[in-house]
Amino acid sequence: MSAARGPVVFMHMAKTAGSSVNAWMVAALGADACAFHVERFPPARRMELARTKAFVSGHVYAREALALAAARPGGYAFTAMRTPLEQVASHLRWLDGYATAARAAERAALGAPLRGLVDRIGATDLRDPEALDELMAHLPPWGLRMLDNMQARYLSAEDGAVPLTLRHARAAAERAAGFDRVLRAEALGAGLGAVARDLGLPPPPAAPRENAAAAGRAVDLSEPLVRLALSRRILIDRVAHAAIVGRGGAA
């Protein structure tokens, strides 16, 4: 990749294989050239990193991701989307995983609202469709941020704890058009190959797989009522995903 090129910015939506993207960029560019999880920094520091690093990745919303890519001429922004039902189930399992002994220290470091959501998930029998539906129907504010149409929320720059509407699906599709690439997590190897060609980087060595080591209990997506309970929180994601992938907007 040319040293004169602007920053490569990856908008890391939760549970869309973003950790694999980050690992590839370390291998391709070197750790010193990369900044990860920039959401933990104040906005001014995030912009400073975009001006000085070759690759910036984080759980930031689309408006900011595109602004970071524009921090220097020649910037490049990409993200990845996942089939909505798979994404929300995976994110639910990830949050549930905070209750495991291996992640006890992580749970203790969470803010009180997010820790409350984690505990509420932990107290829910995820095998029971009625209990799962009760959880998804009455999400607290942090639950909306984490589990209600998260992909459309990132893309439409709506980061508040508000339910999304079809207006946000349209905004998400419009915002996605501003990215150089929107990858499909289910075909990440091919998508990263396209990014590699765009940037003149070596391709990833193999198609990466989701890291499930830190996940919690299983969510049985073969059970129709489980799927139905989760589906109440992905309507807008489904509309946005269909619009972006259906128009050829995803690599």
CB 214 within 8 A of CB 97: yes
Q: Would you say residue 176 lies in a domain?
A: yes
Amino acid sitting at position 228? L
Return the closest-CA partner of residue 80 out of 148, 25, 154.
154
Q: Is the pLDDT of residue 155 over 90?
A: yes
Kindly report whether the global pTM for this prediction surpasses the value 0.95.
Answer: no
Return the closest-CA partner of residue 22 out of 13, 5, 14, 10.
10
CA 163 to chain centre: 18
Give yes or no: residues 141 and 222 share one domain. yes
Q: How far apart, in whole angstroms, are the C-alpha atoms of residue 174 and residue 103?
A: 38
Return the closest-CA partner of residue 133 out of 232, 215, 7, 20.
232
Q: Is the pLDDT of residue 211 over 60?
A: no
Q: Would you say residue 1 lies in a domain?
A: no
Residue numbers of the domain that contains 12: 8-83+172-199
Count structural domains, the chain: 2
Q: Is the pLDDT of residue 2 over 90?
A: no
Over residues 66-81, mean pLDDT: 96
Q: Would you say residue 89 lies in a domain?
A: yes
Q: Would you say residue 245 lies in a domain?
A: no
Secondary structure class of 122 (helix, strand, coil): helix
Over residues 148-176, mean pLDDT: 90
Q: Would you say residue 24 lies in a domain?
A: yes
Highest mean pLDDT, choosing among 15-24, 46-55, 139-148: 46-55
Q: Would you say residue 207 lies in a domain?
A: no
